[in-house]
Chains A and B, each alone.
Chain A
């Protein structure tokens, strides 16, 4: 089945200059394995097309059940010169949680009822 990441994960975004970093957290090891397989750096780069124009890297943090994405040329030049309402890119984490991925039918869905 398909699900939006917001139902199975949480995320936070930060900025350094023109670089956005997004952390994606699974609630359990089973979901983490699914995220690791489905949410690749290439997939994230494609997801943010039109927002981030540079490359994307991914770091796997098994001890935290977390994936870290670093997006380059992602913040319209950086907070001090960006024309965007969200110059710091804080809401890009929410943007990541909008991504839809294919998951096993029996995966525990933390927020099945909400939204």
Chain B
């Protein structure tokens, strides 16, 4: 029976690519599908593109392929990457240049068409009534400030690229799981225009496989959330997930032999539900997945069988992710030692705010966090631990060198609408407040908000 083996590439922009070599060398994969994009990543790439028109793609794809391509070519492995980001053609040019310099040859395909910024107004004029999916705010409320808008495309254009013999497919914004569904559709000759339950169900299986692999190492134990994480073996040499899929869509999730991490019922079900809202209606451009009767069988030895996905017809419309300029953010982080670490940090927050008031530095939002106390848990933090900030606990008592009991206060402000001078002034003030005491760190920059 024909089996297609797909390995996960990166799970986010900046992820490690070294583990991919193990999937190619020992995992027997035919494809590597690599997900470089998150909602926030597009905002980051937009800032790159604003500074440099040739940029706007995920730059990590270049050193990644520079290292992995000779190995991939020897094993006949193809790459599908959404590293094109906001500029797939720019990514293609940079990659072609790299291959020219190295003297390598490969057929590189580019998937475009996701950039819809110039079409929004026409669609609205035609009565589409585009609005924010969460708040319902009209497109008009941010249209003037919009800097990008990209539709999540499905698997179809990637399938076409593979049919044309591409060795490397570079896409912009496609649905993450479509990067993995596409080679299955291509290899097995599945139809994307599904009309029968059997056809929908195997697309749903393919989507499930893609969803289980799209976060890469996060799905093989890297980001396992629970007390068992500490016992997951050898995360320093983590194996990225690999799917072995047969024509019906039934799949086994595994990883290359002699790698760290874990593929088990627990790690796979955590990834399965990750960033899914209604698990019986997980919407993708190619099929709507119902996970209600999905079965995960832990076969041991880092192998989990996935069967039983139900598919329903794909939606009529695609989702768009968009970004607009939304002001400035400035931040300062200041540290204090024992004694009275928290009290001193709290006093500093008051001083900074007082000075900002007196110097008439207007802002829209201000957030004060105490690192080691409430920066992560917010109101869920335990006030009884406030005076033990960043101290270590052992044998039921707090101990450690006195300087480890440090109060670290972080102040972050936001100012909008976008005004460079006002934002910069606040950021510098916060920076000076921080530097005056410990010179910790500061950052200031434009933030791009999102609509979708």
Contacts and interface: CB of A to CB of B under 8 A. Distances in A.
Contact of A16 (B39, B223, B329): B39
B450 interface: yes
Contacts of B296: 64
How big is chain B's contact interface, by range?
A: 35 or more
Interface stretch (B169-177, B242-250, B377-385): B377-385
A59 B278 contact: yes
B49 interface: no
A21 B134 contact: no
Interface in B186-243: 223-228
Contacts of A9: 226
Contacts, number: 146
B404 to A, nearest CB: 20
Contact of B380 (A77, A90, A95): A95
Contacts of B380: 47-48, 51, 95, 98
Interface string A69-93: 0101000111111011111101101
B273 A83 contact: no
B449 A63 contact: no
A12 interface: yes
Given A63-B293, A83-B367, A11 B277 contact: no
A12 B274 contact: yes
B357 interface: no
A9 B270 CA distance: 12
Interface in B293-313: 293-296
A6 B449 CA distance: 34
Given A12-B225, A59-B279, 20 more contacts: A10-B266, A12-B223, A16-B277, A17-B39, A49-B379, A51-B380, A61-B292, A63-B291, A68-B276, A70-B277, A76-B367, A80-B449, A83-B412, A83-B414, A86-B375, A94-B376, A95-B378, A97-B225, A98-B380, A114-B227
Interface of B: 39-40, 43, 133-135, 223-228, 266, 269-270, 272-280, 291-296, 323, 326, 329, 365-367, 369, 371, 375-380, 410, 412-414, 447-450, 452
